[in-house]
Structure formats: C-alpha cells, structure tokens
Amino acid sequence: MTNTWMDIKNANVILVMGGNAAEAHPVGFKWVVEAKAHNKAKLIVVDPRFNRTASVADLYAPIRVGTDIAFLNGVIHYLFEHDAIHHEYVKAYTNAGFVVREDFGFNDGLFTGYDEKTHSYDKSTWQYELDEQGFAKVDETLQHPRCVLNLLKQHVSRYTVDTVCDITGTPKDLYLKVCETVASTAAPNRTLTSLYALGWTQHSIGSQNIRTLAILQLLLGNIGMPGGGVNALRGHSNIQGLTDLGLLSDQLPGYLNLARDHETTRAAYLEKRTPKPLRPGQVNFWSNYPKFHTSLMKAWYGQAATPDNDFGYDWLPKVDQLYDGLRVFDLMAQGRMTGYFCQGFNPLASFPNKGKIVSALSRLKFLVVMDPLATETSEFWQNHGEYNDVKPEEIQTEVFRLPTTCFAEEEGSLVNSSRWLQWHWKGAEPPGQCRTDIDIMAELFLKIRELYRQEGGAFPDPILNLHWPYRIPEAPSAEELAKEYNGYALADIPDSKDPGTVLVKAGQQLSSFTQLRDDGSTACGTWIFCGSWTEEGNQMARRDPTDPTGLGIAPRWAWAWPLNRRILYNRASCDPSGKPWDERRKLIEWDGSKWTGLDVPDFKVDAGPNSGVSPFIMTDEGVARLFARHLMAEGPFPEHYEPFENPLGTNPLHAKVISNPAARVFANDKAVLGDHEAFPYVATTYRLTEHFHFWTKHSKINAPLQPEQFVEIGEELARELGIANGEKVTVRSKRGAIKAVALVTKRIKALKVAGKTVHQIGIPIHWGFTGATRKGYIANTLTPFLGDANTQTPEFKAFLVNVEKDLSELMPHTHKPGETHEERRRPEVLLEDDEPARQVSWLVRILKGRTEV
Amino acid sequence: MALQSLDIVRRSATTTPSPQQRQTTEVAKLIDVTKCIGCKACQSACMEWNDLREEVGINEGSYTNPHDLTANSWTLMRFAETEENGTLEWLIRKDGCMHCADPGCLKACPSPGAIIQYANGIVDFHEENCIGCGYCIAGCPFDIPRLSEKDSKVYKCTLCSDRVAVGLEPACIKACPTQALVFGSKEDMIEHANERIADLKERGFENAGLYDPPGVGGTHVMYVLHHADKPELYNDLPKDPVISPTVGLWKGIFKPLATAAIFFTALAGFFHYVTVGPNETEEEDEEKKP
C-alpha cells in the first residue's frame, strides 16, 4: 500500500477492482465501511461477479475477466475528454512534460523494439530526449507533440466509451456512472482510493493493470494524499515481509537485486544500479545503492567481507535466468531439477495446471515439505481416487515432511499491507516435534558447513564465510535476526556534515538508513527496515494507538518502513508552495524553514518549495512516471491484451497482437491452451471468506462454513445447459476437469462482448484431498501454466472452460459415506526417535551433492 | 445456560416469585444488515465461545452453511438474491434468537424454569430443566430453537448471557469486523440505528428503517434494514411477528380452563363426599377381586 488500512477512511470514493476486499480482507474492510459511515464515501465495485464487496457497494459494474486495462484506459480517456485532471499536480509532480525520443512509437499492438524470436523488447527507444548535460528535456507548456502527456492522450484516444464497453461487456450507463464518480476526485479536496489484490496481479498482463491505475491516480492528483494512493491488499499474513526480504529468485532484501551472469565485477554491478539524476538537483535516492548493498554484505559475511575481496561479491550467486515458480516447475517437469525444498508452499494445490505439477514432482529425487499441516503437496504421490488419481508405485520421489510451527507458536514480526512491522509474541507451545522454520534451516546450515569443513568442495567459500553470530547457533532468535535486519555500526559513524561528531558509536544499533555507509563500517540486513530496532529498543513492539489528528495515523503503533513513514510520497499532499492541497487532509507542510507535520516527510526535510527538488525522491526524474520508460516488460504505456485463453479468439483493438507479446509462456504449455469453440465459457478462480487458501479446510470451525466444493454459474447459462441449483457439474479445461456442486446465481450475468454473448463461471479454490471439509478437486487442475511478463505471476484469473451436467451422479447429493471429519491433522513426524539426525544428515549429503555439481 | 442470577423477570411454568434484587439495564444487539458482508465471523465466534462444532455438511447451492440453525449453530448468515428493488441486491441477514420482550417460547414452555427472561432482556434456556417437548419451537414466531438429537434438549442463542453478566459483549459482536453488529443499551442502539437510517436514506434507500417488531413487545436483537417495508426479502424475516394463536390459546384460554377443570373436578369430588359420602368397599367387592 502507498497508504494504510486506516487511511481508507479518509477517501471520498473507494474503487475496488481486481480484488474483493470484503471477501478476502474482511477485517481491513472495516475502514471502507467507516469511510461510508462517517465520510459519506461512495464505494464502487468493478468485478466479473456481484461479490460480497458489491453487496455493500453504492455502484456495481460487471466486467469481462481480463479487460481491466481497457476499462481503465477508457476512464483515463474520459478524464481527458471532460478535463477532470488535477492540472497543477500533473504539471509539477509527474513526467507529463518530459519529451520522449522521436523513434519511440506504438503501432498495431506493438511498441517499438519488439523481437519476435525472444518475445521481448529492446527498450532503448522508450526513453526521454536528453540535453547536452544528460538531463531529460521538459516542455513546461505541455504543448510538445511528443511530451508524455500528449503521447498518453493519443494512446488512450482509441478507448472511447463504445469501444471499451464492447470489449469489457460493461453496460454503458454503469460505465459512465463509474467514470463520473471517479472524475469527481480530480478536485484537490477530494480523493479516490483504490483497493486491489490478486484479481489484478494474476493475469498475463497483471503488472500493467496496476500501472494503469497508478496513471489514473496521478492524473487525479491522488498519490501522496490521505485517502488516496494505490493500495495492494496483501493476501498472506507477512507476504509483504516476503517481498521486502526479496524472496524471489533474482532479488535481495530491500528491493536490491542479484547480479546477472555477465556482471562479473562489483564495480560494474553497482554502477548499473546507481542511477544518475535525470533532472538537475533531484534527490535520486537509489544513488545510495552501494551503501545498502555493502551493508548487506557486511551483515551476511561480517569480517570476512573486506574491501580487498569486494565485500564478498563473488560469493553471491549470479543468475543466468529467472528461476520463478513457473520456470522451476517447468525445469522439474523436464527432469532438470531433481531436488526441491517446499517451505510454506502447497504448489500441488496453489500452482496452475495440477497435471503438470504432479508430473514435475514425480520426477524429483527428493522433496522436502516444511509445513504445519499435512498438505496435498506432501501427499502428491498418494492415490486419493478421483481427486488425485496417481499410481504410487510409479513415483520414486522420496518425500520428507518436517513439521513446523505455525505463526501463533513463535515470536517475530509480521509486515502487513500498510508496511507496518508488528511484533507478535508466542501464544502457544508447538505440538509434538514441530520446530520453527529457522531452527530447521539453522541446523541444516550447520551440518552442511561441517561437511564442507571436513571434506572441502568445489566452492566452499559462501558457506564457510557466512557470519553466524547467534547465541545458540542451532536456534537464532527472532530478536537477534530483527536486530541484524535493522543494522548496526561496525565502527564509529561520523556525521557527514560535521565530521567531528559521532552519529553512532561502534556496536550500536542504527536508527536510520541515512547512517549506512559503503566503506564497510555499517552492517544492515534489510536497509528499508533500518529504524525498526534501534538503541531505544524494539520499535515494532510499540502499541500506542493514539491518533493525534484523527487522520488515522498512529505514529507510535508498531513501526512502518521506511523510517516510520505512514503515507508514501506525502510531499505530494502539498502544493508546490508547500501548503496542503486540502487543509482537512494536512499531513505535513513547509513551515518556512523545514517540513513538519504528523507524518515523517517523504522528502529532504530542509528542501524548500523553491529548491527545485521534486517530490518523488525514489525516481531519477524526481517526478512520478505516467510513461514508465524501460521499466516494464511490455511497454511504457498500458495496452489492452486479451488473456491467453479468451472468448473472442482475437483482440478487437489489434487482431495481430492478441495477448501480451512479452508474457511468460513456455512452448509446451502453449500446446495445452484451449480455444473458444471447444471451451466456450470464461472462468476465473478466487477465494472465499470462510477459508484461507488450503489451510483452514483443516479446521473444524471453518470446515462446516464452506463444507463442499462448488462453482458459481449464472442463471442464464444454467438454464441453457439445463443445470439446476445444487446439481453436480463437470467443469473442463484443455488441461483437466473437476466436478463440483453448481451454485446457480443471479450475481453473474451474461455479457455482450463484440456482438457475442459471453458467460463467465466462478471457481473458488479451497478444496483438496486433505483436511476436514468434504474432499474436493484441486481447482488449479484447470488453470493455464503461464504468467505475467514482469512478475511471472500465473494467470489464475482468466481461462476457458466447458461445463456440463455430471452424468455419473444423476441424483444430487448422494454423497459417499466415509468422508469423516478427521482431526485437524498435523503431519505426524515420520522419523523415529533417533532417526531425525540421521535423516537430516542424509538430506545434507544430497544438498551438498547438488552444490558440488 | 444456567447462571446464578439476581435479576430474573420471568421463569417458564413457575408461579413463585423470581429473584429480582439486582437492577440491570435493558440491552440490545443491533444487526446492521447494510454493513454486513456475510463473512461468518459471528458464526465462528459463536461456535468457539460456546465450544460447539457443527457437522461438516454439503453445499446445496447456497452460501448459507449450514443450511439451517442447529443445536450447534445458534446463529447463521442467510443469503438472499433479489432484483425486486430495480437493481440486483445480495441481502445477507444474521439469523438467530431475537430475545423478544414478550417471548413466545417462554410462554409455551411447560417445564418450570427451563426458559427464563432476565431484566436486561435476554431470554435464556436452562437446558437442565428442559424436557424436550418442543413447545418452545412451536411458540417461537421466528422459528429459532432447535431440538438436539443427541440429548433431546432445545438450544438457541443465549445472547452470551454468561459474557454479558460479567460486562463483556457477546462473542459475535467482538468478532464482527465491520461493526455491522453492535451491542449496548437498547436506548443507545436505537439512537445508533437512527443515524444509520439517515445515512441510508441519503443514499437512496427511502424505506430504510429499524426492525423492532411490536407484535412481540419489541426485541433485544434488532435489525437495520434497507427495505424495512419488506422484511420478507431478507430470507423471510416475518413482517408482523406475533406469538402463535395456539400458544395464545394454551396460555390464554386453555390454561385457565384446565385449571378450572381441575378445580371443578376436585369440587365435584368434595360435593360427592359431602352429599353421598365416601365410597366404601363392601366385603363382597373385596372377595370378587382376583
């Protein structure tokens, strides 16, 4: 979130699109209800289904799955047509006036620089024109035909109301009502907040869905404002923490990234990631990259990381290609990846095309599952009848289940959607022999290190040099790790403005990432968490809910990254002269000598209104980007591309380029894409309030609240197919089939799209063959194995199916007996008393074998 | 649920006075269906607090699960789709005991002390006194109490009388994430409802209103409805609930009649004794005995 959960209450208009906040985030949704009850806010829901959020909305508009960019580009077009633009904001705080290179262009669905062979772009034309000093040229008058604003206007001019409604299927009157309500927030004293989640990310064009909204919010002047922003509602508890710690194949903590194969020297690696400002006098905060990276290396390698060995640069892996989830399972399916550690992940259920996942897991030599529950993945080799029809005798994968604690059985911090690090304390002792993930990993590490010490190896340095200062080496504590993430001084850190004074003494905890140095005198595990555990103690454990202004900012409740700042880009909540756009929404202001206020200014504290410093300090330009330059894989402006499986067989805007030309698709998966003739209905998958993913079906309280798998089918389609409410149906995609109860509803309407009637089917995902609910099929049997071009997130939200009555079961609800409600199951520890040590060391040998290859 | 209580107003089938020494405020739960997102946190909290577990059922083509109230599920989200008001609406209503000021269940109950009403308005079942006759089920105008197959006792929402007695809000209120459920004095709840109704009217719900039906003397569980003129849209919430005439007859006419019949039988016996004298057994009769 750029803003916070509590801040939603300050909005005038709330747009829920690409998510279903009431369903998936019922607790945070209280702030939407609060905005309606006490700020007279209007709630708009745009979704293929009239969902739980829609049930309390002021305005609901249906949309065809996967056409959000068309919808929003149309809204942007409407804003231009109706001059509903926050002009002063756009001119001063965005790159609207920046002049783009002459050779940049967009023709017939493709931007310049596309390479058919590699399915990727050469992005060199997606840049500004530069002057002699290397600064971007800017036309303050916004008249230049190639300035960003005019290119954007031109780009969205194709998205007229009629075109948009023809693509999205949204009735025109509802669409215009949405446009009108959104446009009302262009006024400086009105804001729109947008809440989205996986309904936007899980598309082959997911990242651009969010880009489109960001552009819309910038044109309305709603970024940096209380009650505004682009707000990602994170799904898992601490999934924000996962992102922050960089648990992706090419990432490092704090949004740093790993070197590529060809980046053999630290100097070249750092230079590439240390941008020069594109306008004079800008903060350009990423210019501090070397300080963050060097401090990370000091945290990881301690005294072993020295200037002489480039702070251990050579010990970090260099990536030849991305190893995202899709790639990993593809490699596994090819037999090229033979061992897999599956920690806090149930890919058999939660990754697309279950058939492919089963065959991938079946080719492994070993699979280690670390989880508090007996997941489907850990039992993928068991035959569960129609629900998992495999032949165990043909699967040679050795499976280890290591039972772990769950969140309530350990202490530590969780990062929520608002970027708050909130400390939590252990609530219960773990059952049986469950151990924390940290303990399991620590013991594995120590054994591997021991083997390297004794036997050597091809490249022992990264393991042998790792800094491991924990009091109990087998069990690093949450406190020790949190202090390391925060960072500490290794030598006295002098004030750069006044070298005579010492800012931080050697050995002390740091209090801000501005204290980080690139000479090896500071260590910091995650620079954005710097300030969370200072000499004053654990800031994450603070629990003072005082909200001094009533704006929903409680600065002493937990700690928010960065630097306890609650609303990002908050300099933009004031006009260029430093006065708040809206007095009622005063966060910070210029008091004549410095920026002051309730929130921590997202700005140089002493850079006055006439300093020429622009508010978006993380960009090289200093301003926000309506035109994303080279940063997005499929174009600097968002364009409507159809889902890979779509009901039209074409793209109404450009028939030659139907789907995202840069998306992640492997050739063998293309072969199992269905077409709209064999699979005429659009399907989408989603979650229900009653369950959390595939976990709570193990709970005896949750199980009866949604006991049995169902799919949602509109009344018109059900009538056409002769399906009655409550009957069983088979839903089939090119990749497999599931059976479920048909829930026939008025809440999914047939849409008119490009002259055709399009029916959509809703498929909740929560059932499987383990747990306390009735057994069900894995919904991801149906979904396609392909994903977004930037994040590689799979396209769970848009695919094609066929639906038929389930003839094998003519009587509805003749449920087989024997579906007992088992105890909430913890994986029983598979190992006998003395076994664990032996088994772990066996594992260690396999792992070590892998590292030596 | 039995509690040692000093503030009982009424007990079923009992004529002796009830303990009334303690003064309590009249309470109410307000269910604002216009804020409710149907998340079922109240259903979960109810099962957790009362330490009950529902059977894992089936899906019959609805989000309402289980399909009906049971001896384990004392509250239930009921989902209804309607297009009657010109636009599609998904009306979600939390169903459960309404804690009537004039409780039909208590009136119908023949078992002494099985149903009691506290001064704060809560109508509670004391299952240890329940004889499982089911009269309360017939007596309830909202069709709430459910007979347990396990122990042949009847169960329903207690409005967490055990929590309320020690100054806590009911479990469902504590769990509700959107404040669709609020709890307090009945007076405060009516005031809060009126604020909500004003907001709803501004948003175009002309018939928004409070559901506190007078036919049962008002209730201690009330609803804010967008369509207070059509409560039946919300899964057949009764428009003008009244205690069934059978219960009325039983308690109103039959009970005094029956009492009179007993009295007259005794009286007749007495007169027979006075006028005819006691029936005496002849020796012959004794001998005739087998």
In A, which residues are within 8 Å of B178 by CB distance? 22, 26, 29-30, 33
> CB of A44 within 8 Å of any CB in chain B?
no
Determine whether the interchain pair B57/A707 forms a contact, defined as Cβ–Cβ distance below 8 Å.
Answer: yes
Across the range A329-339, mean pLDDT stands at 97
Inspect the interface and report whether the beta carbons of A704 and B55 lie closer than 8 Å. yes
**A346-350, A761-765, B152-156, B264-268: the lowest-pLDDT one:** B264-268
| Structure confidence at residue A294 (pLDDT) | 98
CB contact under 8 A, A821 and B203: no
What is the per-residue pLDDT for B262?
A: 81
Beta-bridged to residue B123, according to DSSP, are B117
Predicted local confidence at residue B5, as pLDDT: 79
Give the distance from residue A51's alpha carbon to the nearest chain B alpha carbon, in angstroms: 8
Q: Tell which of B30, B63, B173, B202 to mutate to test the A interface (max A CBs under 10 Å).
A: B63
For A:197-236, CB contacts with B below 8 A are none
pLDDT in tens, A799-827: 999 999 987 755 444 444 444 433 333 33
The answer to the question of residue B290 being in a domain is: no
- Domains identified in chain A and CATH numbers: 6-235 (3.40.228.10), 325-411+428-463 (3.40.50.740), 664-805 (2.40.40.20)
- The helix/strand count (H/E) of chain A reads as 21, 35
pLDDT at B254: 67
Q: Give the A window 478-537 contacts with B, CB below 8 Å.
A: none
B54, B61, B92: residue with CB nearest A725:
B61
Mind telling me how many Å the CA of B189 is from chain A's nearest CA? 16
Contacts of B213 (CB under 8 A, 6+ apart): B219, B238, B240, B241
Question: Which candidate, A604, A636, A632, places its Cα nearest to that of A617?
Answer: A604
Cβ–Cβ below 8 Å for B179 and A33: yes
Residue of B nearest to A39 (CA): B199
Q: Give the closest of B37, B62, B179 to A55, CB-based.
A: B37
Contact A329, A789 (CB under 8 A): no
> To the nearest whole angstrom, how far is the Cα of A39 from the nearest Cα of chain B?
11
Q: What is the pLDDT of residue A698?
A: 96
Q: Is the pLDDT of residue B2 over 70?
A: no
**pLDDT band for position A430 (50/70/90)?**
very high
**8 A C-beta contact, residue A567 and residue A587:** yes
- Which residue out of A5, A33, A40, A195 would a mutagenesis test of the B interface target, given it has the greatest number of B Cβ atoms within 10 Å? A33
Q: Is residue B161 part of a domain?
A: yes
pLDDT attached to residue B150: 96
Q: Categorise residue A558: left if φ over 0, alpha if ψ from -120 to 50, beta otherwise.
A: left
Give the mean pLDDT of A780-785. Answer: 98
pLDDT, mean of residues A540-567? 97
Q: Report the candidate in A200, A284, A303, A711 with the shortest Cα–Cα distance to residue B59.
A: A711
Can you tell me the ipTM of this complex?
Answer: 0.92
Q: Nearest CA to A269 among A313, A335, A302?
A: A313
Whole-number pLDDT of residue B277: 77
Q: Which chain B residues have a beta carbon less than 8 Å from that of A39?
A: none
Same domain, B56 and B199: yes
What distance in Å separates residue B3's CA from the closest CA in chain A?
26
Please tell me whether residues B214 and B266 are part of one structural domain: no
- Please report, to the nearest 10 degrees, the dihedral formed by the alpha carbons of residues A782, A784, A788, A789 taken in order: 170
**Interchain proximity B40–A50, CB inside 8 Å:** no
Q: Which residue has the higher pLDDT, A209 or B276?
A: A209
Residues B24 and B6: their CA atoms lie apart, in Å, by 10
Closest CA to A708 of A733, A726, A686, A730: A726
Q: What is the 3-state secondary structure (H, E, C) of chain B?
A: CCCCCCCEEEECCCCCCCCCCCCCCCEEEEEECCCCCCCCHHHHHHHHHCCCCCCCCCCCCCCCCCCCCCCCCCEEEEEEEECCCCCCEEEEEEEECCCECCCHHHHHCCCCCCEEEECCCCEEECHHHCCCCCHHHHHCCCCCCEECCCCCCEECCCCCHHHHHCCCCCHHHHHCCCCCEEEEEHHHHHHHHHHHHHHHHHCCCCCCEEECCHHHCCECEEEEECCCCCHHHCCCCCCCCCCCHHHHHHHHHHHHHHHHHHHHHHHHHHHHHHHCCCCCCCHHHHHHCC
Closest residue in A to B192 (Cα–Cα)? A37
Report the 3 state secondary structure along A777-797. Answer: CCHHHCCCCEECCCCCCECCC
Q: What is the rounded CA–CA span in Å between residue A559 and residue A254?
A: 16
Best mutation target, A6, A36, A55, to test chain B (most B CBs within 10 A): A55
Question: Cα distance from A373 to chain B (closest Cα, Å)?
Answer: 19
The pLDDT of residue B22: 86
Look up residue B103 and give its two tokens.
Answer: 């409780």
Q: Which of residues 18-37 of A touch B (CB under 8 A)?
A: 22-23, 26-27, 29-30, 33-34, 36-37
Chain A residues with CB under 8 Å of B89 CB are 55
In a domain, B33, yes or no: yes
pLDDT in tens, A111-124: 999 999 999 999 99
CB A419 within 8 A of CB A559: no
The arithmetic mean of pLDDT across residues A6-12, rounded, is 98
Q: Are residues B61 and B140 in the same domain?
A: yes
Domain that holds residue B268: 246-285
Nearest CB partner across the interface for A744, out of B57, B61, B83: B61
Q: Does residue B238 lie in a domain region?
A: no
**How do residues A441-453 score in pLDDT, each as one tens digit?**
999 999 999 999 9
Q: Are residues B65 and B184 in the same domain?
A: yes
- How many domains does the structure of chain B reveal? 2
Whether residues B222 and B260 share a domain: the answer is no
pLDDT of B278 higher than 80: no
In a domain, B70, yes or no: yes
- Does the distance separating the beta carbons of B44 and A701 come in below 8 Å? yes
CB contacts, 8 Å: A708 with chain B? 57-59
Q: Is residue B15 part of a domain?
A: yes
**Both B163 and B256 in a single domain?**
no
- pTM (two decimals): 0.93
* Mutation site for A-interface testing, chosen from B36, B39, B227 by largest number of A Cβ within 10 Å: B39
Taking CA–CA distances from B39, the nearest residue in chain A reads: A689
What is the mean pLDDT of the segment spanning A459-466?
Answer: 97
Residues of chain B that touch chain A, judged by Cβ-Cβ distance less than 8 Å? 34-41, 43-44, 47-48, 53-63, 65-66, 73, 81, 83, 88-92, 177-180, 196, 199, 202-203
User: Could you tell me if residue B63 is inside a domain?
Assistant: yes
**Is A258 an interface residue toward B (CB < 8 Å)?**
no
Closest partner residue to B34 (CB to CB) among A23, A56, A690 is A56
Whether B39 and B154 share a structural domain: yes
Q: Does residue B260 share a domain with residue B191?
A: no
Predicted local confidence at residue A831, as pLDDT: 37
Both tokens of B99, joined, read 């804690």
> How far off is chain A from B44, nearest CA to CA, in Å?
6
Locate all alpha helices (DSSP H) within A82-203, ordered by sequence.
Answer: 87-93, 148-156, 161-168, 172-183, 198-201
Residues ≥6 apart with Cβ < 8 Å to A816: none
Contacts of B199 in chain A (CB under 8 A): 36-37, 40
Interface of A with B in 50-109 (CB under 8 A): 50, 52-56, 58, 60
A161-168 vs A172-183: helix crossing angle, rounded to 10: 120
pLDDT band at B281 (very low <50, low <70, confident <90, very high): low
Q: What's the gap between Cα B265 and its chain centre?
A: 36
Residues of chain B in contact with residue A54, where contact means CB-CB under 8 angstroms, are 90
pLDDT band of residue B6 (cuts 50, 70, 90) is confident
Q: How far is B67 from chain A (nearest CA, A)?
A: 10
Cβ distance of B35 and A37 shorter than 8 Å: yes
pLDDT of residue B26: 96
What pLDDT is attached to residue A191?
A: 98
Assess whether B64 and B195 both reside in one domain: yes
Please name which of A247, A66, A43 lies closest in space to residue A648, comparing C-alpha atoms.
Answer: A66
CA geometry: angle A198, A200, A204, nearest 5 deg: 105
Distance from CA of A386 to the nearest CA of B (A): 18
- Co-location of B263 and B187 in the same domain: no
Are B200 and B253 members of one domain?
no
Cα A24 from Cα A237, distance rounded (Å)? 12
Show residues of chain B in contact with A701, CB under 8 Å: 44, 47-48, 53
Residues 714-743 of A with CB under 8 A from B: 725-727, 741-743
Size of interface A-B (CB pairs under 8 A): 122
Residue A566: the pLDDT is 97
CB proximity list for A796: less than 8 A, separation 6 or greater: A198, A202, A352, A684, A685, A780, A783
pLDDT given at position B285: 60
pLDDT at residue B99 greater than cutoff 70:
yes
**Is residue B3 included in any domain, yes or no?**
no
Q: Judged by CB atoms within 8 Å, which residues 150-189 of A form the interface with B?
A: none
Task: Give the nearest partner residue to A55 out of B38, B47, B57, using CB atoms.
Answer: B38
Q: How far is CA A219 from CA A212, A230, A615, A622, B86, in A?
A: 11, 13, 15, 17, 35
- Residue B4's pLDDT is 67
Contacts A813 to B, Cβ<8 Å:
58, 60
CATH number, domain of B37, equals 3.30.70.20
| Listed residues B208, B231, B254: the one ending a domain | B231
Q: How far is B51 from chain A (nearest CA, A)?
A: 10
* Same domain assignment for residues B225 and B264: no
For residue B81, the tally of other CB atoms under 10 A from its CB is: 16
Q: CA of A707 to nearest chain B CA: how many angstroms apart?
A: 6
A670-693 pLDDT per residue, tens: 999 999 999 999 999 999 999 999
